């Protein structure tokens, strides 16, 4: 599951940012320690990182969703958040009342809401995460193109 999340991050980096990155990280623009220079996204990023460290993963994800905005910076912030969760051990996720499947599903859901075409990755409920079977008929020709 961890590898699938990493592959999805590489896909998002390529599609959204045109880069072949293995990770997407959010870079704080303002100066840490000087709250007047921090952007709202900087402040949100620092809050999410603190909540993850404290084990309040569910609360952090709720805040991520509550503050969602449609921008590349937010895609970067959300990707950073889910990559940080992905790096946690299963025990750390369990302690935060979270699972690896929830990391995967949350990342897919967030990217979908932000307009990133991650539907090709399927669902964590499925045994085949990346390959969706082709339709038996010509209905695929009628489907809208993402690109």
Give me the tens of pLDDT residue by residue for the chain, a chain 147 residues long.
Answer: 667 777 777 777 777 777 776 667 788 876 776 777 788 999 999 999 999 999 999 999 999 999 999 999 999 999 999 999 999 999 999 999 999 999 999 999 999 899 888 766 665 443 333 333 334 444 334 433 333
Question: Domain limits at 86?
Answer: 2-23+38-126
Residue 136 lies in a domain: no
pLDDT at 139: 38
User: How many CB atoms sit inside 10 A of residue 21's CB?
Assistant: 14
Q: Is 28 inside a domain boundary? A: no
Residue 132 domain-assigned (yes or no) = no
pTM: 0.73
120 closest CA partner among 8, 22, 14: 8
Predicted pLDDT of residue 120 = 60
């Amino acid at each position: 599951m961890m590898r699938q999340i990493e592959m999805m991050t590489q896909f998002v980096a390529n599609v959204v940012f045109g880069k072949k990155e293995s990770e997407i990280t959010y870079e704080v623009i303002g100066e840490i320690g000087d709250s007047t220079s921090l952007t709202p996204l900087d402040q949100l990023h620092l809050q999410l990182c603190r909540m993850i460290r404290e084990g309040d993963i569910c609360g952090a994800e709720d805040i991520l969703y509550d503050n969602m905005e449609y921008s590349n910076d937010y895609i970067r912030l959300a990707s950073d958040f889910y990559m940080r969760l992905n790096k946690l051990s299963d025990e750390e996720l369990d302690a935060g009342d979270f699972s690896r499947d929830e990391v995967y599903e949350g990342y897919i859901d967030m990217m979908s809401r932000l307009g990133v075409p991650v539907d090709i990755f399927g669902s964590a409920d499925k045994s085949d995460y990346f390959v969706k079977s082709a339709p038996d008929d010509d209905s695929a020709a009628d489907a809208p193109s993402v690109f």
